[in-house]
Chain A
Amino acid sequence: MATIVAEATGQAILHEEHEQSFLRKYIFSTDHKVIAIQFLIYTLFFLMIGGLLAMLMRYQIAWPARGELPLGGIFPESMVASGYILPEFYNALVTMHGSVMVFLAIMPMLVGVWANYLIPLQLGTHDMAFPRLNMLSFWAMVPAGILTLASFFVVGGAAGAGWTLYAPLSARPDLTGVGLGQILWLVALVFIGLSSILGSVNYITTTINMRAPGMTWMRMPLTIWSLFITAILALLAMPVLSAAGIMLIFDQTIGTSFFLPEGGGQPLLWQHLFWFFGHPEVYILILPAMGFTSEILSVGSRKPVFGYKAMVLALVSIAFLGFIVWGHHMFQSGMNPMLGLTFTVSTLFIAVPSAIKTFNWMGTMWRGNLQLHSAMLFAIGFVAMFAIGGLSGVFMASTPVDIYIHDTYFIVAHIHYVLFGGSLFALFGAIYFWYPKMFGRMMNETMGKIHFWLTFVFFNLVFFPMHGVGMVGMMRRIYDSTGYAHLQGIEDTNAIITWAAFGLFASGFLFAFNFFWSLKKGRKAGANPWNATTLEWQTPSPPKHGNWEEVPVVYHGPHEYSHPDVEDKDWLAQNERPDVVSPAAGSH
């Protein structure tokens, strides 16, 4: 992977003036931009791995009786036998698809890549508060990735207890057939926790203490706000997962029984601890995406963000509510029904800030001058898909309906509308949007648009029908649905979903091609190809080590587009002095 990083960054920092060894410059770099690009390569790789796991899974769901897995022969007998994916391998696929996507792809891509890249640039500072910790936060992810990949090849295969790792299934190897694989994943999880905590300390401290002069809280771009809030969530939630994960490792290895009822332990304790982390995690996975979307929509609509303060308030309240709703994952778990009542109410109320955000995004587009480039298309796609994901969430927030919906494909549809239609759409948008800043070249627009439409169409073909399959009652994580009487008649739907999933996966390669092709062949981008106002666009692309020749001073809010008093252009950079541009253009 090292060589890829080198290639990618070679473009980025070609004009680097510092005398540094190759190793210090590209591998063990403390420059936040290089670390961000390392994270980007890392996460794109794991995005592909996660996708691959999903494809195998979909094949099994669509054609459980067929066998004949294409290229099935390359798998060892313990995974695929006679062309059939074995149930234990299927469980590993389900588990590791979720785990890889959440912990090694989406989360580090949202936070590791963009918090690293954008926080110093958008705040107008030269680097993170603790550059060496920042480097460590990337290098803690590397063993995590290696352990995860290795876990597939140990005796017993990779973890197979679901990404939620419910004990006792995850704690007793004799019940799953998975021994070392589970432990390796848990150790990887501890590394991920470490990485995430180190990263968060950096992001929070930098945001609090290192803003450029004039960059007041209410002049911070919404991206920064969302990343800041996300870092707080990660800081407070990840350690709980680490603690729980370590207890689970002990259960597996040294004979404790924290989560095993035979020894007096409590399976529900695991669920409480996991979801105490898990629900904030859900917001860790969506808040940055909301930030990117706000930013891209504003730039693409040439309008200020509609209701900036409400957006900030909504972020803060989502984060706060995020800590008191975890029980809604456990309505059917046997926990105290009284808790169910409390959690229903708090959960439903989290819909309110989400609704505010959705309407405000629409407000941002309203009467705008929409530039429908790839980044903007993905941002609009985010709003459209997130709305569906949010609305389907109302079904399971309502406890009685959740009795039926819980652990069916309806949930699968919901989380994918939020995590893929939401987070990943916004991430694609973010990559199209900030790619020119990272590498100095634009990504190819035509390929970008084709990528968007393919992704959009296939995505909906994959996940919308899952609502229907869920209504019929198809359970999650099920290896073969054909044996159930109530699941007769959904085979065609499952096959369509699988074909569409193959299409969705394939369209990812178009993106990958575009990404690498544009490194060399992309149109050269100037400092500010989008005519955007935030600080990162006011320095050359790619920015040099240290980001600024002189520290910028901020005079305006973050999204001053189409200001009536500015005549020659429709934007007003945050660091443009009011008296230089126009005497009346000073904003709040």
Chain B
Amino acid sequence: MAHAATAGRVPERGLDVYTQKVGMWVFLCSEVMFFAGLIGSYVVLRFGAADTWAVPNEVLNVPITAFNTFLLICSSVTMVKAFAAAQAGDQRGIKVYLLGTTLLGATFLGVQVYEYVELVLHQSWQGSHGFTPAAGLYGATFFTMTGFHGFHVLLGVICLAWATIRAWRGHWGADNTHGIEVLGLYWHFVDLVWIILFTIVYLI
């Protein structure tokens, strides 16, 4: 067997991007399809039964959700700031920004839980008390879409908390930014999905 003795030769170029990042982008592709399935169904169901939808602000609380949207946008900027700090080797920046992102994400979740509780327990809809997933297509699609987004935020917050703990142990630095960047990609994607959900679920 003629094994060419060429240890150390670089592999094929691929995407010119490190593997974890490629993996995350590939994974995000499947996430896009998942949310496309939900959003597509939402659009179709809504077209089929437009009269069963409430007008914005009638059932859902837009101001508080707008504030929540703002929180998520802020968490995105702290996330990129954390990445920038990591690239610059700014340990304090890494800690502060990661912690900030985690807290903002957690607050978003808290507000969402509050919103759900209010809706289920106190909001009335079409004459019945409590706006639940069983409240027609409107309720079903609302809770399914925002619920799955919330689930993604939850996963993100757990990962962020873990990354923050690592930051305090000095894990990240100029020579170790990949984890933060990849986590950031996921986090921004969750933000991006929310931007779309906020618009089509709450505002339209």
Could you list which residues of chain A lie within 8 angstroms of chain B, going by C-beta atoms?
A: 125, 129-130, 197, 200-202, 204-205, 208-216, 235-240, 242-244, 246-247, 250, 254-258, 263-266, 269, 272-273, 527, 538, 550-553, 555, 573, 575-577, 580-581
- B6: chain A residues within 8 A (beta carbon): 213, 550-551, 553
- Known A238-B30, A239-B33, A575-B4; contact A263-B144, beta-carbon cutoff 8 A: no
A237 and B33 form a contact (CB under 8 A): yes
Task: Please name 14 further chain A to chain B contacts, defined as beta carbons within 8 Å, in addition to the given A213-B11, A247-B144, A575-B4, sorted by A numbering.
Answer: A201-B26, A201-B27, A204-B26, A209-B14, A212-B11, A213-B6, A243-B34, A246-B144, A250-B133, A265-B45, A269-B45, A551-B6, A551-B8, A575-B2
Which stretch from B35-43, B106-114, B184-192 is at the chain A interface?
Answer: B35-43
Nearest residue in B to A266 (C-beta to C-beta)?
A: B48
A253 CB to nearest chain B CB (Å):
10
A575 and B134 form a contact (CB under 8 A): no
Q: Which of B7, B9, B23, B36 has the most CB of A within 10 A?
A: B23
Residue of A204, A211, A243 near B12 (CB, 8 A) is A211
Nearest residue in B to A276 (C-beta to C-beta)?
A: B37
**What are 16 of the A-B contact pairs (CB < 8 Å)?**
A129-B22, A201-B30, A211-B12, A215-B12, A238-B30, A239-B33, A242-B34, A246-B144, A254-B134, A256-B134, A257-B140, A263-B140, A273-B41, A551-B7, A552-B4, A575-B3
Q: Which of B27, B40, B49 has the most CB of A within 10 A?
A: B27
CA gap between A559 and B59 in the complex, in Å: 64
- Known A265-B137, A552-B3, A580-B2; contact A239-B12, beta-carbon cutoff 8 A: no
CA gap between A266 and B43 in the complex, in Å: 12
Which 9 pairs, one residue from A and one from B, show the smallest C-beta to C-beta distance? A243-B37, A255-B134, A256-B140, A209-B14, A239-B34, A264-B49, A239-B33, A211-B12, A240-B37
CA gap between A214 and B9 in the complex, in Å: 10
Residue of B17, B34, B133, B148 near A240 (CB, 8 A) is B34
- Known A269-B44, A575-B3; contact A257-B137, beta-carbon cutoff 8 A: yes
B204 interface hit (Cβ, 8 Å): no
Q: Which of A243, A250, A265 has the most CB of B within 10 A?
A: A243
- A255: chain B residues within 8 A (beta carbon): 132-134
CA gap between A197 and B32 in the complex, in Å: 12
- Known A264-B49, A551-B9; contact A573-B44, beta-carbon cutoff 8 A: no
Q: Which of B1, B3, B52 has the most CB of A within 10 A?
A: B3
A256 and B15 form a contact (CB under 8 A): no
A266 and B9 form a contact (CB under 8 A): no
B23 and A240 form a contact (CB under 8 A): no
- B29: chain A residues within 8 A (beta carbon): 235-236
A264 and B7 form a contact (CB under 8 A): no
B22 and A205 form a contact (CB under 8 A): yes
Nearest residue in A to B17 (C-beta to C-beta)?
A: A209
A258 and B34 form a contact (CB under 8 A): no
- B3: chain A residues within 8 A (beta carbon): 538, 550, 552, 575
Overall SS of chain B's interface: helix
CA gap between A555 and B45 in the complex, in Å: 55
B10 and A213 form a contact (CB under 8 A): yes
CA gap between A216 and B52 in the complex, in Å: 55
- Known A250-B140, A255-B133, A575-B4; contact A210-B30, beta-carbon cutoff 8 A: no
B124 CB to nearest chain A CB (Å):
17
CA gap between A247 and B14 in the complex, in Å: 37
- Known A242-B34, A243-B38, A264-B52; contact A254-B19, beta-carbon cutoff 8 A: no
Residues of B119-153 whose CB lies within 8 A of A: 132-134, 136-137, 139-141, 144, 148
B90 interface hit (Cβ, 8 Å): no
Residues of B66-113 whose CB lies within 8 A of A: none
- B4: chain A residues within 8 A (beta carbon): 552-553, 555, 575-577, 580
Q: Which of B8, B12, B14, B44 has the most CB of A within 10 A?
A: B12
Nearest residue in B to A205 (C-beta to C-beta)?
A: B23
- B49: chain A residues within 8 A (beta carbon): 264
CA gap between A125 and B10 in the complex, in Å: 11
B10 CB to nearest chain A CB (Å):
6
CA gap between A212 and B13 in the complex, in Å: 10
B46 CB to nearest chain A CB (Å):
10
- A125: chain B residues within 8 A (beta carbon): 11
CA gap between A82 and B7 in the complex, in Å: 70
- B44: chain A residues within 8 A (beta carbon): 266, 269, 272
B145 CB to nearest chain A CB (Å):
10
- B30: chain A residues within 8 A (beta carbon): 197, 200-201, 235-236, 238-239
CA gap between A435 and B36 in the complex, in Å: 41
